[in-house]
Amino acid sequence: MTGRRRWMAYVRGQRFEDMLDNMRMTLTSILAIVTCASAAKVLLIPGPAVSHCLETLAVGKELLKRGHDVTVFAHLFDAKACINRWDLSKFKSKFKTLSPALDPDVIQKHNTFFEQTEKVMMDGTGLLKMLIFMIKPVITNLCHSAFSDQNVLNELQEDKYDLAVVEGLPMTGCIFSIPVYLGIPYAATGSFIDPQDAMMPLQTTLFPSLFLPYSNDMTFPERFINTITYFLNPLIKYAIIHSIDLSSYSEKLKTVDTRNLIKDSVLFLENSDYFIDYPKALFPNFLQVGGLTASPSNPLPEDLRKYIDGARDGVILVTFGSVLKHVPQRVVERMTNAMARLEQRILFKHNNEELKGNIKTMKWIPQNDVLGHPNVKLFVSHCGKNSLWEGIYHAVPIICTPFGTDAVSTGIKVMKYGVGSSVNILQGTTEEIFQTVQAVLGNKTIEQNMKTMSAIMRDRSETPSQRAASAVEHVIKYGGDHMRPPEVDFLSSIYADVWLIIFVFHFLLVSGVIFICRKCWSIRKGFNKPKAD
């Protein structure tokens, strides 16, 4: 090849390389533009409890991984206690928290209510009476505290969010007024979402009420009571939970009924799953994302790891969640007396730090990480939803010690599916607790059932937080109208109008037949009547 030809080949090669470089730069620029355009701003508004914040923030962390901006609006609880459990250091530029500056009296009122509620739950008396008289001031305190700091509200407005993800508990319904105030759509999330709020079809023969001690395998009397409870549910809610007047904060809120705001959610994210929470019919805007806080375990602190590693007969983890802070001493004594009779080491989340016999008490325990240790053989829990899912994820048999709300229903599910047991530690004796633990420990059937549950939970193309984040991205892009069922009133939702027409039709049909029969009988009697001479 001559020198000229070599030079021309070199020039052509250089031009090709330059063209490739230009294409790479153009493609990179396009991708950067697309990424910026697709990044959304999402506002998280969890309920006033650490466990509920953890559920919501699990969705937020996944959104952060996908390049979105996330803000947590936290009031009436310590946001750091929730946020510090997640490693969010790499997302500093995209993540922030906002908390209104509250009067100490407001915080004290809130804490006092929860302390009183916990005390009544533990005593087992007067809970309904207390709720009836206390729930209105509590909800009022909760709602007005959310709007108490105008500087925070102004910052929320300036940030121009695309969507809010709001805690969907019945008592926190008025918090949905924040996205209404901001003029943005919102999704509801929670451990349980009322099927009537989500406009789900009537399923009282297959799905038990959260407030009844039934599984989904109900007898006729149970189905009858379950159906009546379903019909009474909205009436009870409207009688106990009051709508809060927030018109002083915005004209938008003047005609708002805070009890109904959740129904306008574009998306419902329930911390549940069909294989433990019973199968039910769902609309596309309702996703089951059970296990938001469950994940592969992180390394344990050195002293805790050594304590668990050194347990030849295994470890039993005992916790009562983050909400219950004042468990009665009699309950603690029953539990410790029962556990002291066991060969296993006991790790007990309580208000002090000490090692006494085979029982180690700690003020805080990294629950998910401990459950992931192979030496942990049993989980004794109040059976909140996060605890249940973390136990299932790590295939650790569970004993429920429910104190109320949805934990009672969870205890029934645990026994129905044979993944553990349930015990009433408020009224049960030390012997009953001991016998329940002995019955579950080393039970091969329970162990296998729990392993199967764990395998089902893990065998998904997406994790629960990924499913939730994908759904959030979908409604941000396309809205949620195409996934919503048409809105119907309560009477239509229970088929009252259909059954009324059927009843009227049959009534008229039967009445007509009876009328014709009577006429025929009268005519026949007339023919058979003897004639006068």
Q: Are 329 and 395 in contact (CB under 8 A)?
A: no
Q: Is position 3 within any domain? A: no
Q: Which domain holds residue 90?
A: 41-294+465-483
| CA distance linking residue 98 with residue 71, whole number of Å | 7
Q: Is position 104 within any domain? A: yes
* Shared domain check, 193 and 137: yes
Global pTM reads 0.86
pLDDT of residue 348 exceeding 90, the answer is yes
* Shared domain check, 379 and 428: yes
Residue with the larger pLDDT of the pair 329 and 36: 329
pLDDT tier for residue 19 given thresholds of 50, 70 and 90: low
Mean pLDDT for 259-279 is: 94
What's residue 504's pLDDT? 93
Task: Express each pLDDT in 113-157 by its tens digit.
Answer: 777 777 766 665 555 666 666 778 888 888 888 999 999 999 999
Residues in the chain: 533
Instruction: Choose among 381, 379, 394, 400: nearest CA to 451.
Output: 394
Instruction: Choose among 466, 465, 312, 457: nearest CA to 394.
Output: 457
Sequence-ordered strand ranges (E) for 117-241? 163-167, 186-190
What is the CATH number for 125? Answer: 3.40.50.2000
* Shared domain check, 442 and 407: yes
Instruction: Choose among 274, 184, 197, 259: nearest CA to 475.
Output: 184
pLDDT averaged over every residue in the chain: 86
What's residue 11's pLDDT? 43
Q: Is position 190 within any domain? A: yes
pLDDT of residue 320 exceeding 90, the answer is no
What's residue 328's pLDDT? 75
What's residue 112's pLDDT? 78
Cα 280 to the chain's mean position, in Å? 16
Alpha-carbon separation of residue 486 from 62, 203, 287, 345 (angstroms):
31, 18, 18, 55
| SS3 track for 101-126 | CCCHHHHHHHHHHHHHHHHHHHHCCC
What's residue 12's pLDDT? 52
Cα 79 to the chain's mean position, in Å? 18
Residue 467, H or E segment: helix 464-478
Residue type, 173: G
* Shared domain check, 269 and 185: yes
Mean pLDDT for 165-177 is: 89
* Shared domain check, 476 and 496: no
Q: Is position 20 within any domain? A: no
- Which of 32-41, 124-133, 163-172, 340-349 has maximum average pLDDT? 340-349
Beta-bridge mates of residue 269:
189, 287
Task: Express each pLDDT in 356-382 by its tens digit.
Answer: 999 999 988 999 999 999 999 999 998
Q: Is position 250 within any domain? A: yes
What's residue 81's pLDDT? 82
What's residue 26's pLDDT? 46
Q: Is position 115 within any domain? A: yes
Q: Total domain count for the chain?
A: 3
495: left (phi over 0), alpha (psi -120 to 50) or beta: left
Counting residues of the chain whose pLDDT is more than 90, the rounded percentage is 56
pLDDT of residue 34 exceeding 50, the answer is no
pLDDT tier for residue 314 given thresholds of 50, 70 and 90: very high
Alpha-carbon separation of residue 506 from 95, 172, 499, 503 (angstroms):
63, 45, 10, 5
* Shared domain check, 282 and 370: no
Task: Express each pLDDT in 393-450 by its tens digit.
Answer: 999 999 999 877 678 899 999 999 999 999 988 888 999 999 999 999 989 999 999 9
Place of tokens 């009324």: 500
Range from 24-33, 148-157, 252-261, 295-304 carrying the lowest mean pLDDT: 24-33
* Shared domain check, 449 and 503: no
Q: Is position 533 within any domain? A: no
* Shared domain check, 498 and 474: no
* Shared domain check, 268 and 155: yes
Q: Is position 5 within any domain? A: no
* Shared domain check, 314 and 178: no
Q: Are 363 and 351 in contact (CB under 8 A)?
A: yes
Place of tokens 């159906």: 227
* Shared domain check, 205 and 123: yes
What's residue 123's pLDDT? 65
* Shared domain check, 426 and 407: yes
pLDDT tier for residue 237 given thresholds of 50, 70 and 90: confident
| CA distance linking residue 114 with residue 323, whole number of Å | 9
